[in-house]
Structure formats: C-alpha cells, structure tokens
A and B are shown apart, each in its own frame.
Chain A
Amino acid sequence: MSIESLAPVETEGLSLGKIVWGRFVRHKAAMISAVVLVITITVVLSSIGVGPIPGWWIWGPNDIDPTIVNNGHPTLAWEGWWFTLGEHPFGQDTIGRDAFARTMRGAQVSLMVMVLMGIIATIVGVVIGALSGFYRGRTDFALQRTTEVFIAIPTIVVTAVIGQKFGTSNPALFGVVLGLLLWPGLARLVRADYLGLREREFVDAARVAGASDRAIMFKHILPNAIGVVIVNATLLMAVATILEAALSFLGFGIQSPNVSLGQLINEYQTSFSTRPWLFWWPGFFIIVYALTINLIGDGLRDAFDPRQQRIPKTKELNKKAIAKAETEVAQ
C-alpha cells in the first residue's frame, strides 16, 4: 500500500446539481428513455432538415411522387440481418406523398409544440404557485383568483380559435397558447407544497443565514417540491402531445399545409381500412414521446429525492438469504 492512499483524502464538495445528475445517470429506465428520445429527435430533425437546412431524406413532406411504389405499402423491410428503407419506408398516400417525410415533419411540429408548452406551463405554474404559497395573504388571494379565471377558460375553445386563425401559419403560437392555458393545475399543487414547506425550520435557518426571499423560494424550497413539479411537467408534456393530436384530429389544431402528428391521423382517418400504416406511424411517434418523457420525469424525480432507495422485495430477500445459507453449507 502506498503512502498516498493512507493520507486523508480531500473530498470535493459536490453541488446539488452534480449529485442529482450522478443519480439520474444511474437510473436505468430514465437513461434508456433519454437515449431513445435523443435518437428519435436526431432522426426527426436530420431526416428532412429544419427550416433552410436540408436533411438527408430525398422527399419533402409535401412533395408528390407520381409513381406509387408497391401500391403505397411501406417499403421498410428486413433483409438478412439488416433492414432497408426502400423508396418510401412508411409508404405513400393516395396522391403519392411520402409518409416518412410527412411523419417526420409532423413529429418536428409536435415536438416543438410539446417543448414550448411544457416549458411555459412549468415556469408560469411554478412561479405563480411559489409566490402564492410563499407570501400567502393578499398576493396569494390575487394569484389564486387569477388561477381560477384561467381554470375556467375552456382550453378546447381557445385553441380551436387559435388553430383556425393561425394554425396554417404558425404552429409555435399554438404551443405558446397551450402553455399559457395549462399552468393552473401545476400552480395549485406547487402552492400547496410551498404552504407546508415554508413553515419548516430550514427556511428560518436560510433566512438567518441571510438568504433572500428569491433564494429561499427557488434554491431551498423548490428542490423539496421538485417531485410534484417534475411529475406534473412531464404529464403536461404528454398531455400536450395528445391534446394537440386530438385538436388536429377534430380539425381545430394545426392546419394543412402544416403537418403535425395529430393532423396526419385526422387526414388519414378515412383511409384507415385501406392504408392503415398511414395511421400507425404518427401514432407510434406520439407514444414514443409520451412514454420517454414520462420515464425521464420519473428518473429525475427519483434523482432529486435523496431517500429514494430500492428495497428488494421480500421474495428476492429470501432468495438471497437461501443462496447465502447454501453457500455456507457447501463450505
């Protein structure tokens, strides 16, 4: 043994962020979901390109291929140990548009709506909930009445109007509006958590140390309320994907020539019996988004909670104990 290893080791002080990241990386389901989501987003963005940047796929979402390959069936196929994309991997619709390109564009638009909506709703919800719960009194009263007004606004009517007016031109606006409409639920939950947490002694301790109200609200209390925030934010994002799909399906959301996953499903609903694949692929991407985001949220929440620790099930424990007893007997 060398002398160095005996000397006291100076432990580096890790910040909360670093520790949480370390724990998150060890969370299996969340890491797999993160990898899947990153791959999906990479494919979605690079295939048909974003804005002026061209992608690697030959067709655009609204290009028409006059020759209908293989009767419009998907050309994606297994060939030995590898698969080939073929000319139109997700198939073609009746007028010859490439379903792959259209799904990719739809996935891009839906992603944008989802992210914008998720970020805006979370920020607004957390800030309003935090101010309301932390200051109580008049601030709380005013903010809670505002929240109630927003709860009373029927989301579907507002978004339908926005969709009719701007659905053809600007899908981003759609995300922003959804974000500004869907924060009240989160705000209520955050407020409830803050009302309880502000009475805890560590808040007084921080105040005596000289922390400002803002630092107490967002550096001290927020990590303790993060479980609610993350679960809600991820749930909201999944809801946004589905809400956007539902609105577009009803014909109120994003309008042609813009493409979104829901709008694709709406557009192809009539061909459900003849060309079901046009229906499957957008649905598949909706599921991938909703699922991966929820699993990542789960992982984040567990990473923030220092007490989260997997206790093996009684069965596993018994198995281990027996295995140990057997090895002891063998010895």
Chain B
Amino acid sequence: MSPRASKKRADAAVSSDGQVANAVEATATDVSQEGPNTAATAGDVPVLGASHEVAFGEVVLDVKGLNVDFFVNGAWVPAAIDVDYQVKAGEVVAIVGESGSGKTQSSMSIIGLLPRNGRASGSAKLRGRELVGLPQRKLTSVRGPEVGVIFQEPMTAMNPVLTVGSQIVEVLREHTDLRPAEAKERAIELLRLVDIPEPERRFDSYPHQLSGGQRQRAMIAQALACDPALLFADEPTTALDVTVQAEILNLIRDLKSRINAGIVLITHDMGVVADMSDRIIVMKDGRIVEEGTAADIFTKPQQEYTKALLAAVPHLGSTLATKDSNRVPKDATVVFEAKGLVIDYPKQGRQPAFRAVKGIDLTIREGEIVSLVGESGSGKTTVGRAAVGLLPVAEGEFTVVGENMKGISRHDLAELRKKFSIVFQDPGSSLNPRWPIGQSIAEPMQLAGWDKERRTARVGELMDQVELLRSFRNRYPHELSGGQRQRVGIARALALEPTLLIADEPTSALDVSVQARVLEIFTGLQREHGFGCLFVSHDLAVVEQLSDRIAVMKDGLIVEQGDTAQIIQHPQDPYTQRLIAAVPVPDPAEQERRRAAANA
C-alpha cells in the first residue's frame, strides 16, 4: 500500500469519526461559522468567556490512545505512549513529569506543532473535532481561536522586532473580522485583563522593554486573544523569579474562573501545581503513571515516581536541623572580601552607565558556601561576575584570593584566574557549542600549560567525579541533557582545583529532580575539595540546602545577611519575608493558607 493510500484511509477514518460525534460537534461548527467574535465586531468589547459556547464542565479536549514517536538515528523512538485524558471547561489539568517524559510533546502533537521527525497517532478531539491527522492548513484555524498556547520563555516566543500590541492585533486580525482600530482596542482590553500596568503605553512596547513577568503576561494576553476553549501553558513560570512566578500563577488561577476555558498546565515542578490544578496527571517515559485529583496526588500518592517527584521539591526549613553553624572554623582564610563594593555597568552605545551594585559588604572564608539571594535585577549576578574579573570594580575594596581586584593588571588577573572559576547559569550557552565537551573541560588546564597526557587523565578523573561516563568526552553539548551539561560546567570549573568558586544560578535552568541530583554532586565535591563558594540564586529553598550563610540582595544592596537558619526562620527584612512566602510548597492546603495570608 502506498503512503498516500494509507493517509487517505486515515482521513476517511477521521471523517467517519466526525459523523459519529454528538451535539457538541454541531455547536462547534455553529460557532466557527458565525465566528466567535461576532459580538466583538458589533461594538463594545465583550466580557471574556461569554462569546464562546462552551458550558462550564463540558468536555473540551478528549485525548484517547495518543502516541507520539520521533525518528532518531534510524528508528522510531516513542515519546508518548497511549496517553488518555480529558479536560473540561473551567478546569485546570496539570501534566507533571521530568524533561523527556513526553509531557510537552504529547500536548504539542495535538495542535500539530511537532518537529518534522515526529509523528502522532491516536485520537485527540477538541469539542468533538478530531485534531490528530488534521492537515496544517486546517490546524491554523484551530490554533488561536480555539487553542491558545503560553510558552516557557516569553523572550524567545515573542518576536523581538514587533511591538507587543501588534503581535496581539495580528492574532485578532487573522482570526476575526475586527477592523484595525477595534483590534487595537481589544488588545488593550486584553492587556488590562492580564494586569499589565498602563496597557495603552505598553501596547507600543517591544518585548525587551518589558520585565520578564510582564512579557509572560503579554503572551498570556496573546493566547487569550480569540477566547480559546483550551489553553496550553507549557512551563509558564519556569523562567521567572519566585515572586513573579507567584504573581503569574495567581493570574492563571484567576483567569480560570473568568474565561471558562480548559487549561492544561505542563510543568516539572510539583510545587507550582499544588494549589493551581483540579486534576493532576503524572507522566514518566511517555506513559501516564498516575492520575487523580490534586488532593489525592498530594496527600496519598500511589506510585514511587510521584513520591520521588514530590520529594525533589526543596522544602523550606527541611534541612535546618542538620545545619552546623560552626562547620567552617572562624579563623579560616578569607578568600573573598568586599567592603563598600560598588560595580557599574559601563556605558554601551546609547545605554548610559548603570550602577548595578551600590556598596555591599560580604566575606567568604575558605571551605564556606555563602549564598547571595535576590530577584533578577538585584545585582547578585553582577557581584559574581566582578569576582571573576569580568566586570571592573568602580569603588570600594574588593579582595579575591588575596589579590585586590580594583584596578588589577591584566597580568595579575591572568595569574589569579588559575585560583578561581565560575559555573554559569545556563550550561547550554556557557559551553562552546562547537567544541566537544572533553575539550571544554580541558581548556583551563591547557591554558595553564599542562601537557596532553596529564590533561587526558584529569578530564577522565573529573568526569568520574561529576558522574558522567568517560565515553561522553567526544560528545557535543547539544547531545547531552541539561543536567549532564551542567555537570560538564562544574567539572570544567573544578579542573584546576580552585580556592574560590562562583556558582551563578547553576540549577535554575534544570528540572526539580535533576536539580536535586546536581546539588547533591555539587555539595559532595565542595566537602571533598573544600573551596570557598559564592552561590548566587533566586531560590531560597535551594540555597537553604547547601549554604552556611545567606545574604539577601535587593536593588544593588544587601538588605540582610546571616546564618542560614537565622535567615530562613527569623527573617527580619520585609523583602526576605516576601521571598520566603513566595517559595512554592508541594502541599495544596499549606499553599492556600499562605496565599490567604499574603492577600490579607
């Protein structure tokens, strides 16, 4: 049988299924003929949710026996196997699983966004209409008016050269009969709906002019533009700060009641879904391993895997009992000392110079892990970058491994670089994509003048230490998973046995369970090698696990610092208190209680 014939048969199967479909189908066609936005064309902007004909509790998406395969190295590899679930209007269904569990691909296959080497089979009906096997041409009329998608990284998902407003207007004009002026009015209305301040002004902003949280809100507005019946949110808060994450989650929770659409929330973080979702689906290796109401999953998980996922979410205060505040002797050598440290970002083109750090005091002794916590833009990363000589010191005293960093000469800095190193936030971009990882790990040694044999031996040793197979050394970064890449980053940073290590959010790009493993390896290596460490992070729960002391930073200043237990249990500064309150906990009841407290 030719491929074409087989495809025809598949199409035929679809249409016969379509005939079997019930009254819901009729409603769907009615809606699509009249256009969901006829009301909007008539004049005043309607109350969202009123214009499409889904009743509360009606099944919006019905997935049955969905399979997704990828053609990799000459064979079909399954990414999702026999996935069944239903989404009702007004309901949030969370699909939880680690990267590679098939949670994203199974959802993307439904709206035809698989890469070219992927294929889907089975059935996924949107209000009775079969979507699997639907040609792309028809799918474009489904994506937008009927299904909205919120992507993980709004910076890359939005077009950087178009204004936020024009991107929303584009969606509206594509799928409705609105005139430009009306579309603009509606877009501003949408921006207001997602709580963007000054929507009229923001309409003309470019994505880079918005903060991360605002960008994500704008993308939600875009996804909601045509009142979809179903909303996919693919890790909508993973790229955001904790407090912003809490705000966005609040918004989605709020929208749930306002727009009457089914929401599918895809995430790896059990903490995020705790008080968001009505039902939870846990996926592992392409299969659904457990399914149930949120309360059931959190209070009595049946599967080991679900328990492991729950356990991987760092709990605030869980490790405080084992902390020993005298682990590092008080008289240990100081490897990092800042006094009234001020750092400027130099003027660049039309951008004026910017004072990122406005005078901080911080000390790290050998063998100690000190964490610097704050949200994006607080200047915490700047401190780390100045410590390794990537940014100059503007004012104040700054001593790193015994050398004064202020006005340090190139030659001295080159010498000093053998004594400290840095692990970057995103291993995907901090490893040279065109270098095999073995060469990346060996680079600091090569620059320090080691011969080839010694380098080869040391690379093998380091790969053992970070628990990577030695046979991986000729692989390229893109052939490794995120967690493996970050281990390469750590191995490279440890190559020359540094006295001071700067870790710049080393786990924020990783899954919760992978993060737990990487942190374990990291702490193990720190205990073994005894380097001093500045651990920069936005996540207090992560920081609590491994640090001896914590410094909280806001707007270029340290607002509070002290022993880990003291900061976590008795935060003095209101900002620290807010940060602690925003950390998601994998417990719906606790989450609700805290939200109520925060709103009060």
Contact = CB atoms under 8 A, between A and B. Distances in A.
Interface string B486-524: 000000100000000000000000000000000000000
A220 B433 CA distance: 9
B117 A311 contact: yes
Interface stretch (A7-15, A158-166, A182-190): A7-15
Contacts of A26: none
B417 interface: yes
Given A204-B390, A322-B3, A13 B439 contact: yes
Contacts of B442: 13
Interface in A266-321: 304-307, 311-312, 314-315, 317-319, 321
Contacts of B426: 201
Among B388, B434, B439, residue most surrounded by chain A Cβ atoms (within 10 Å): B434
A209 interface: yes
Contacts of B459: 13
Given A8-B470, A13-B438, A304-B434, A318 B6 contact: yes
Interface in A196-227: 200-202, 204-211, 215, 220, 223-224, 226
A19 interface: yes
Interface string A1-42: 000000011111111100100000000000000000000000
Interface residues on A, range: 35 or more
A124 B417 CA distance: 32
Contact of B432 (A10, A206, A226): A206
Given A10-B460, A318-B3, A208 B417 contact: yes
B476 interface: yes
B14 to A, nearest CB: 17
B340 to A, nearest CB: 25
A223 B1 contact: no
A274 B473 CA distance: 65
Interface in B405-421: 414, 417-418, 420-421
A312 B444 contact: no
Contact of A206 (B76, B438, B443, B479): B443
B344 to A, nearest CB: 17
Contacts of B434: 16, 223-224, 226, 304-306
Contacts of A306: 433-434, 476, 478-479
B433 A210 contact: no
Among A8, A11, A206, A304, residue most surrounded by chain B Cβ atoms (within 10 Å): A11
B595 interface: no
A202 to B, nearest CB: 4
A205 B424 contact: yes
Contacts of B76: 321
A223 B119 contact: no
Contacts of A201: 424-426, 429-430
Nearest to A205: B430
Contacts, number: 110
Among B424, B443, B492, residue most surrounded by chain A Cβ atoms (within 10 Å): B443
B470 A208 contact: no
B435 interface: yes
Contact of B436 (A19, A210, A307): A19
B23 interface: no
A284 B442 CA distance: 49
B436 to A, nearest CB: 6
B473 A11 contact: yes
Nearest to A318: B3
Contacts of B460: 10
A211 B443 contact: yes
A14 B117 CA distance: 30
A205 B425 CA distance: 11
A320 to B, nearest CB: 8
B534 to A, nearest CB: 13
Contact of B474 (A13, A200, A319): A13
Contacts of B421: 208-209
Interface in A219-265: 220, 223-224, 226
Interface residues of B, number: 49
A14 B476 CA distance: 11
B71 A208 contact: no
A265 B46 CA distance: 75
Contacts of B474: 11, 13-14, 19
B485 to A, nearest CB: 12
A19 B474 CA distance: 8
Interface in B359-417: 385, 388-390, 414, 417
B409 to A, nearest CB: 14
B481 to A, nearest CB: 16
Contacts of A208: 388-390, 417, 420-422
B161 to A, nearest CB: 15
A210 B447 contact: yes
Secondary structure of the A contact surface, majority rule? helix
Given A14-B474, A224-B433, A317 B390 contact: no
Contacts of A224: 432-434
Given A201-B424, A204-B424, A210-B448, A15 B418 contact: no
A322 B422 contact: no
A196 to B, nearest CB: 12
Given A205-B422, A209-B443, A321-B76, A14 B438 contact: yes
B3 A319 contact: yes
Contact of B447 (A204, A211, A321): A211
B27 interface: no
Contacts of A200: 429
B6 A322 contact: yes
B321 to A, nearest CB: 37
A142 B84 CA distance: 64
B432 A13 contact: no
B431 interface: yes
A202 B432 contact: yes
Nearest to B438: A13
Contacts of B414: 210
A202 B440 CA distance: 10
B116 interface: yes
A215 B444 CA distance: 12
Interface in B188-227: none
Contacts of B385: 204
B405 to A, nearest CB: 13
Contacts of B116: 311, 314
A201 B444 CA distance: 16
B166 interface: no
B470 A10 contact: yes
B90 to A, nearest CB: 38
A312 B71 contact: yes
A230 to B, nearest CB: 13
B430 to A, nearest CB: 4
Contacts of A307: 478
Contacts of A13: 436, 438-439, 442, 455-456, 459, 473-474
27 contacts: A11-B474, A13-B455, A13-B459, A16-B439, A201-B425, A201-B426, A204-B390, A205-B422, A205-B432, A205-B492, A208-B389, A208-B422, A209-B443, A210-B418, A211-B447, A223-B432, A223-B434, A226-B434, A306-B433, A306-B476, A311-B117, A312-B117, A314-B116, A315-B3, A317-B117, A318-B6, A322-B1
Interface of B: 1, 3, 6, 71, 76, 116-117, 119, 385, 388-390, 414, 417-418, 420-422, 424-426, 429-436, 438-439, 442-444, 447-448, 455-456, 459-460, 470-474, 476, 478-479, 492
Given A208-B390, A209-B492, 19 more contacts: A11-B474, A13-B455, A13-B474, A14-B436, A14-B438, A15-B439, A16-B434, A16-B439, A200-B429, A201-B425, A202-B431, A205-B432, A205-B492, A208-B388, A208-B417, A208-B421, A209-B443, A209-B444, A210-B417
Interface of A: 8-16, 19, 200-202, 204-211, 215, 220, 223-224, 226, 304-307, 311-312, 314-315, 317-319, 321-322
8 closest A-B pairs (Cβ-Cβ)? A318-B3, A223-B434, A306-B476, A201-B430, A210-B417, A13-B438, A209-B444, A201-B429
